[in-house]
Structure 1
Amino acid sequence: MKRIFLTGLRPPDIILPPDFALHHWSTIQIEFFEPSGSLQIQKPGYLFFLSQNGVLAFYLQQEKILPHLDDVEIWAVGKVTARAIQELFNIEAKVPIKQNAVGLTESFSNQEKKPALLITAEKARQEFLNFLKQNKWEFQRISLYRTILRNDLRWQQINFKHSDIILFTSPSAVSGFLQNRSFRKNERIPKIIAIGSSTALAVNEKLGIEPIIADEPNIDLIFKQIKTLGD
């Protein structure tokens, strides 16, 4: 039986073969908060959501930020993020071909410049923000949630096997894992999958392990990749 350990917030809606056992032991949790200020830019032409949590946070605070979404082009990174926008706002968001910050940057390298609003975490990944700054876009970032590391005794009690797989969804999830345990000397090290280059870097720096990188937060593609891994 191949065991898969998920560190992210939510278990995926997916059916695995009978020889896989899925364990969802989240190493993080999310805390929502009110915006610290009001909208400073003129009416945004673009609204960017980099995660599902951003969509949920914006939904709770929309009346204080941007009550009307008419004539705003909404973009989402990740199918889960786009699905949340569809469910909460009944709007079909645009998504980059590559479902990550690099893909978003590539999609906007030739886009018309309009004022942009980004909904982010308190500590946001910088790739797309740096692109907007370097190319002199008018934009505003509003942070509406923060990530908190979560303790779970199960991580301390588990004995890993070489055939096990740990899936890290973010750098914070790696930090949350380390808050619970580290790999002991002579311990069997499971396979590590990291979503995105920032998460892969965190795995390398904090765990000293070169992970398998999944470029996009597409759970279906990731599990297809997992199925191809040998013992």
Structure 2
Amino acid sequence: MMAGKVWLVGAGPSDPGLLTIKGKAVLEQAEVVVYDQLVGDGILCMIPKSAKKINVGKYAGNHTVVQERINEILLEEALEGKRVVRLKGGDPFLFGRGGEELELLCEHGIPYEIVPGITSAISVPAYAGIPVTHRDFTSSLHIITGHRKKGCKESIDYKSLVALGDTTLVFLMGVAALFDICRGLIDAGMDQATPAAILERGTTAKQRKIIANLATLPEEANNQNIGTPGIIVVGKVCSLSQTFAWAEKRLLGGVRVVVTRPKDKVSSLATKLYDLGAEVVMLSGTYTKPIEDNTQLIEVLDTIQDNKWILFASEVAVDIFFDCLWQQQIDIRSLWNCHFAAVGPTTRKAIEKRGIRVDYMPEKYYGMELAKGIEAMAKPQDKVLVLIPKETDSELANYLSTTKVNMKAVPVYEIVYEDNEQVNIEESDIVTFTSASTVRSFVNTMKDIDFHKVQAVCIGELTAKEAAFYGMKINVAKEATIDSLIESVIEINKREL
């Protein structure tokens, strides 16, 4: 068996937008991902569902798996011929022990690559409005680990740091040693009025900062219960934080939104929320797949020209319908007699990409509204084909079945539920739902949480009804559109400010 390969990938400080293009590309091709707790939820959600996921923990003072064992895991998985990604917070070579993880690989001749990441030493201060260098304040930057190797009694050389003069000092992994660091610098001769900052959970919606000076920072941090992960910045540049503050000024700065969406679908909702400053976590509790050997659909396609109307309530159904048409070698010109109807703009766009103009779309983008529109237009002799998901309630098909419309409902895809291994829902999170099926997906995925604490933003009444069934706190968008859903998120944020 050929040996596999290992990639040491720096995941950056947490914000998924700060993961490098190469890092994302490598991660999406991984067969095994070994990750720690400093990797953001938004990045963990990018791990392929087919990949083996190994959580090795590693918070300050809490190493679930010791470093030596992590090294062995990388070797064992690579020897099985796998594409292994070691996903590490920040940069793998800046106090990330990346060099140690390579040593065992080198001994066994395992090929590897390094994908540098954006270090928290620069990015976290930037998100707090602190430029680590500025010509008017400092001419150098020094990055120091505040966490010493186990058994090492050697202390930080504070006298040498103070002798550097006007500089910026960044201490990583030093939250627990904050008092010792500040006292050490003061005792070594640094002015106790020197500006200093501690930055907690930088680049996330929960980031906090305390700007003080060397003398007062430990007490203020203790009063505010500042914890890990965090970094300490010392130097005159800290005084610029209020002037240069920007992250919290964004419309959705400080808001974490969980977007429920099938993994195989790109989310314009997530993109728009991120652009407004939200921390966005993509929770993919489901994926869709065509029904295999779908004889019912094939039979319908053989006489597709007999249908006056073909109704679509999702873009998934559109893609499967046209793909099957092609696979069965049925000429698209056989649709000349058919009228097409879409539940909303996204579905309409999917149809029109196939070169077909949509004949009807309701003003309100609900399955019920589509059904009512067709009921009013269809003649008794008109055959109406509705393409639906398997074993899932269809508002469109259910309503039409109670009317005189000559309707045939054909399942074309099934929804597969996945277990959630990465995302933890916090009480302050806002969770968006774009359909009743995304609610069911969320419930199936998040099995061990109290749904009464979930702040749900729903795209319509049917979706809200499903969320209410599980006791969630309900907010309904004024219109069944992505933009209206976002407006609801913004309103919730304003109420809670």
Specify the TM-score bucket, using the shorter chain as the normaliser.
0.7 to 0.9
Provide structure 1 residue ranges, at least 5 long, that are not aligned to the other structure.
none
Counterpart of 1:180 in structure 2 is 445
TM-score by length of 2: 0.42
Q: Within 1, Cα distance between the matches of 2:466 and 2:452?
A: 20
Counterpart of 2:260 in structure 1 is 7
Q: 1:15 to 1:41 in 2, by over 3 A?
A: closer
Q: Give the C-alpha shift of residue 43 in structure 1.
A: 0.6
What do residues 159-187 of structure 1 show as CA deviations (whole Å, max 9, x unaligned)?
Answer: 5142x2101233333333233334646x9
Counterpart of 1:194 in structure 2 is 458
Report if the CA contact (8 A) 2:256-2:430 is conserved: yes
Counterpart of 1:144 in structure 2 is 412
Counterpart of 2:278 in structure 1 is 20
Matched, 1:160 2:426: yes
Equivalences for residues 207-222 of structure 1 within 5 A: 208-214=471-477, 217-222=480-485
Equivalences for residues 29-108 of structure 1 within 5 A: 29-33=287-291, 34-37=293-296, 38-39=299-300, 43-63=306-326, 64=328, 67=331, 68-87=334-353, 89-93=354-358, 94-108=360-374
SS at match of 2:401: helix
Q: Give the C-alpha shift of residue 108 in structure 1.
A: 2.7
Q: Within 2, Cα distance between the matches of 1:179 and 1:61?
A: 30
TM-score by length of 1: 0.84
Q: 1:76 to 1:159 in 2, by over 3 A?
A: closer
Q: Within 2, Cα distance between the matches of 1:128 and 1:181?
A: 28
Report if the CA contact (8 A) 1:31-1:147 is conserved: yes
Q: Give the C-alpha shift of residue 97 in structure 1.
A: 0.6
Q: 1:129 to 1:160 in 2, by over 3 A?
A: same
Q: 1:121 to 1:159 in 2, by over 3 A?
A: closer
Q: Which has the higher contact order (CA 8 A, sep 6+)?
A: 1
Paired residue for 1:225, among 485, 488, 492? 488
Q: Within 2, Cα distance between the matches of 1:137 and 1:198?
A: 22
What do residues 18-61 of structure 1 show as CA deviations (whole Å, max 9, x unaligned)?
Answer: 43122211111101124222127871111100101101111221
Report if the CA contact (8 A) 1:214-1:222 is conserved: yes
Report if the CA contact (8 A) 1:41-1:139 is conserved: no
Report if the CA contact (8 A) 1:41-1:115 is conserved: no
Percent identity reads: 20
- Tell me how many residue pairs correspond in the alignment: 225
Q: Give the C-alpha shift of residue 193 in structure 1.
A: 1.3
Q: Within 1, Cα distance between the matches of 2:398 and 2:425?
A: 41
Q: Within 1, Cα distance between the matches of 2:425 and 2:392?
A: 33
Matched, 1:115 2:374: no
Report if the CA contact (8 A) 2:261-2:285 is conserved: yes
Deviates most, 217-226 or 113-122? 217-226
Q: 1:70 to 1:21 in 2, by over 3 A?
A: same
Q: Within 2, Cα distance between the matches of 1:210 and 1:15?
A: 23
Q: 1:133 to 1:82 in 2, by over 3 A?
A: same
Q: 1:61 to 1:212 in 2, by over 3 A?
A: same
Query: Which amino acid in 1 is paired with 2:267?
Result: P
Q: Within 1, Cα distance between the matches of 2:458 and 2:414?
A: 20
Deviates most, 106-115 or 91-100? 106-115
RMSD after superposition:
2.7
Query: Which amino acid in 2 is paired with 1:56?
Result: D
Q: Within 2, Cα distance between the matches of 1:71 and 1:192?
A: 43
Query: Which is higher, the Rg of structure 1 or of structure 2?
Result: 2
SS at match of 1:153: coil
Provide structure 2 residue ranges, at least 5 long, that are not aligned to the other structure.
1-253
Q: Within 1, Cα distance between the matches of 2:453 and 2:485?
A: 20
Report if the CA contact (8 A) 1:35-1:142 is conserved: no
